[in-house]
Amino acid sequence: MALLPSIHSPADLKRLPLSALPDLCGELRDAICNQVSRSGGHLAPNLGVVELTVAMHYVFDFGHDRLLFDVGHQCYTHKLLTGRQALLPNLRQRGGMAGFPDPSESPYDLFMVGHAGTAISTAVGVARGDERSGEAWSPGNQAGRRVVSIVGDASIVNGVAMEGLNNCGTLRRQFLVILNDNGMSIAPPQGAISRYFDRLRISRPYSDFKRAARDLASQVPGGEAATELYHRIGESGKALFTHDAWFSHFGLVPVGPIDGHDLRVLTEYLGELRSLPRPALLHVKTVKGKGFDFAESDATSFHSPAAFTLERIGNQACRVEISSGGRSFTAAAGEALAKLMERDPRVVACTAAMPDGTGLTKVLDRFPDRAWDTGICESHAMDMMAGLAKAGSRPFFAVYSTFLQRAFDQAFQEVSLQGLAVRLLLDRAGFVGGDGAVHHGFCDIALLAPLPQACLMAAMDEPSLAAAMQFMAEYDQGLSALRYPREKVDARFTGEPCPPFELGRARALRISPAPDVAVLGLGPMALTAMDAASEVADRHSVAVWDARFAKPVDGELIESLLLRQVPIITVEDHGATGGFGSLVLAEAHRRGLDTRLITVLGAPERWIGHGSRSEQLAETGLDLASIVAAIERAARSRASQHR
């Protein structure tokens, strides 16, 4: 008899005997894999934490206690155990389960999170807040709230995570950090700390832990509390204090590593650490993609796959085929960058833990001495690129638009303020579909536009992407950025020559000597504008430009149109506040032109939920029908003024 349908809350889970939990974990894995195969989503990270999540909910009461996820893409089991099974069939779709924790779905989710490194710091804040209100658990307040944060081995090296660790050791209360160590980020994790974890996993035998345990119990921060724990958890547990544990220097009682797929071991140690009145870190060893050979053997490809076909023999997956769907901007950017590096030995590149997601995997393989994966360290990556620029290289930093936000200070201080030419390839610009609000790239222009000499561009298709990157390679006046969406490239202009990029010059796509309306589209929105112009061709003459530059905008084009009283519509999948349209308005105002003739179409000031990218564009008035309607309004307004 299936167990998962009977789990409506963690209270139902706690009624099961420990012996039943492995069967439940198998059902959870099947449910997750079956759904992700239909809708896409984060597969391998979720498969890897099934036992850990079940054990956490079996031991703690997160309806009362505090659970904070780092990144949050590993939360599917947590959601299925907390009353959200009915939402799973529409995972990452409108009306379905969000792919990340979401407080609007359930009180079991404390924060909406999608960026790495944040859980320890927010957990410290929650822990201090509960202390202030008298709600913190302590030996004298058994009804209080406990605090647990779960962090990956790649996330914990993030600068914010280090700051959180530096502060959590000053707490004088229960506080548990669970280090989910699977030896993977999206790709293999980078850096010295990762190598430290590797040595700990590979070269430290159980007997070494056991011999060191008695001395360590009195040495680790926590003093009497650690000694008490040493006596309480028995001989087998004593071996789990590491003699030279790096985390002890942060003031945490370090325990582990333990097997993150052994439910008996997990529940035993979580049960004991639950009542330790000091900050502790439990090092848990897991396998990313656990339970399915195809995901375990290729955890990078199955980190967040699109829908895929899963063929089975009995209960075993025997063949998996990930859906394709055409050539992506990401793949095109990776190939264009590789060609630049072939032509120019000064070009170097980096990514921050996203070699697959930014298309740099082949670049890293082909140019190992000129391309780097820094791990989840966007701020460091930006500063490293600044140093390379200072030393005479031409650096490209490939980063998701949403993750650029983490490195803005460095873009300001170490790049722009120094007059250095660092080049940003902003993948996933605009709306990103199923990942939702945590990953939308809607403020990169607003962030970067105030920086002097910043040159901000967008690519509408693959030829324009390659042309823009060639322009960037030669732009040495300051920071430059090229934005492009999580989309397939449109091939309609592929057979035509693509004119080279000229600073601040738009490209005419549809010419009219006396247009009723002019549309300036940024990036792929220019192609949607072309479709809209065709829709109204029997009623209105519409000229369309690929804007190419959000900064500097094409001021001469804007002036020529407005002096002829031609209404301008700007279209962008960026926030309307501070975006391309705002910069067009500012340029028109600077030139003393009538800004009332300008209509700005962009993302509104509200959070846009998960769903398909087409749904998100429709919701925000950026789809074909909305642009057609805007053209009709502008044409009617112009006609009425000329009567």
Question: Of 291, 74, 45, which Cα lies nearest the Cα of 182?
Answer: 45
DSSP string, 106-170: -TT------STT-HHHHHHHHHHHHHHHT-B-BTTBTTSB-EEEEEETTGGGSHHHHHHHHHHTT
Sheet containing 598-603: which strands, arranged edge to edge? 507-510, 542-546, 517-521, 568-575, 598-603
Angle between helices 580-590 and 555-563 (to 10 degrees): 70
Which DSSP symbol is given to 433?
G
Question: In angstroms, how far is CA 338 from the centroid of its own chain?
Answer: 24
Residues pairing with 127 in the sheet: none
Which H/E stretch holds residue 616? helix 613-619
Question: Side by side, which strands form the sheet with 66-69?
Answer: 66-69, 147-152, 175-181, 279-285, 253-259
What letter would DSSP give residue 445? H
Beta bridge partners of 279: 175
166 Cβ neighbours under 8 A, 6+ residues apart: 250
DSSP letter at 516 equals S
Nearest-CA neighbor of 389 among 476, 503, 507?
476
Grouping H, G, I as helix, E, B as strand and the rest as coil, residue 8 is: coil
CA-to-CA separations, 28 to 290, 321, 322, in angstroms, rounded: 12, 22, 21
Question: Distance (Å, rounded) from C-alpha 127 to C-alpha 419?
Answer: 43
Q: Which residues are catalytic?
A: 288, 378, 406
Q: What are the C-alpha distances in Å from 81 to residues 59, 235, 261? A: 13, 33, 17
Q: Which long-range contacts (CB under 8 A, 24 or more apart) does 531-534 make?
A: 531/624, 532/624, 532/627, 532/628, 532/631, 533/631
Across the chain, which distance is largest between two alpha carbons, in Å? Answer: 94
Q: How far apart are CA 172 and CA 189, in angstroms?
A: 32
Q: Is the Cα torsion angle 354, 355, 360, 366 positive or negative in sign?
A: positive
- Using alpha carbons, select from 508, 482, 486, 481 the residue that is nearest to residue 617: 486
Q: In the numeric block, which tokens belong to residue 302?
A: 């199955």
Please give the helix or strand (H or E) that residue 39 lies within, else none.
Answer: helix 21-39
Calculate the CA dihedral of residues 298, 299, 305, 307 and round it to 10 degrees. 60
Q: Could you give the C-alpha distances from 245 to 194, 204, 282, 623, in angstroms and in order?
A: 14, 12, 11, 54
Q: Is the peptide bond before 257 cis (omega within 30 degrees of 0)?
A: yes
* Structure tokens belonging to residue 437: 């609000």
Peptide bond into 552 cis (omega under 30): yes
End-to-end CA distance of the chain: 77
CA–CA distance, 559 with 594 (Å, rounded to integer)? 10
